Amino acid sequence: MAKNSKRMASLSSKVEDRTYDPLEGIKLVKENATAKFDETIEAHARLGIDPKYTDQQLRTTVTLPQGSGQTVRIAVITRGEKVAEAKSAGAELAGDDDLVEIINKGEMNFDLLIATPDMMPKVAKLGRVLGPRGLMPNPKAGTVTTDLIGAIKEFKAGKLEFRADRAGIVHVRFGKASFSPEALLENLKTLQEVIDRNKPSGAKGRYWKSLYLSSTMGPSVEIDVTALQEIQQEV
């Protein structure tokens, strides 16, 4: 059984066994992000859904108003003039059959894959390599589109795709430790609203089971979901 390091034990001792007000919890997570790099701040939401049923699956996107703080490497599978269009819009990789073959060999030097609809029959054959990594393009996620310029711009600016895992837990990075508490709260609030707005039709009983925040190298902090839902965003 793995033991916590002295550092983790020290940080964990600062976290009380209770749910925290959203802003208070965010400040504590930031305080505990003491690594020598700019740690990523993540949300882990356990939902009352069973994704093995199609009407209880959750897969969508969120556009974080303060950005994610991440550098997103985008690959685009398309053809003709749209290859140059994708590259000019900021895609790190773009191509047609050549890129399909590269990915099929297991070379995936990207974080997000976008495809135009006409290329999806070829992309579908990459399911065995893309599926396990959560990289298969999907219309609901905005990664199957003819508007390559708009999609690339949005994902570069902070749009993220997320889905519930087999246990009904959503894991989403929503900022960096260097962000202000207020910026992180705005991103977290936006994420909560998106999860609520996309509640699966088959979800039964209590939808939000728990919400924890953590940094890359820090302990988790439980957040009061009801208090988060009651926060009013400025329009």
Topology (CATH level 3) of domain 74-157: Rossmann fold (3.40.50)
Mean pLDDT, residues 132-138 taken together: 89
| SS3 (DSSP) at 204 | coil
The Cα angle at residue 146 between residues 102 and 131, in degrees rounded to 5: 40
pLDDT of res. 5: 73
pLDDT of res. 66: 94
Domain with CATH 3.30.190.20 in the chain: 18-68+159-230
Using the predicted structure, report yes or no on whether residue 197 has a pLDDT greater than 50.
yes
Environment class of 131 (CB within 10 Å of its CB; exposed 0-12, middle 13-18, buried 19+): exposed
Of 15 and 50, the one with more pLDDT? 50
32-67 pLDDT, tens digit each: 999 999 999 999 999 999 999 999 999 899 999 999
Domain 18-68+159-230 maps to which CATH number in 2.40.110.10, 3.30.465.10, 3.30.190.20, 3.40.50.300?
3.30.190.20
Mean pLDDT, residues 72-93 taken together: 95
Identify any residues that bridge with 213 across adjacent strands, giving them in sequence order: 43, 221
Domain with CATH 3.40.50.790 in the chain: 74-157
Q: How far is CA 160 from CA 31, 80, 153, 154, in A?
A: 25, 27, 12, 9
pLDDT of res. 121: 95
The model's pTM is 0.79
Phi and psi of 41, rounded to 5°?
-100, 130
Burial 36-50 (b: 16+ CB within 10 A, else e): eeebbbbbbbebebb
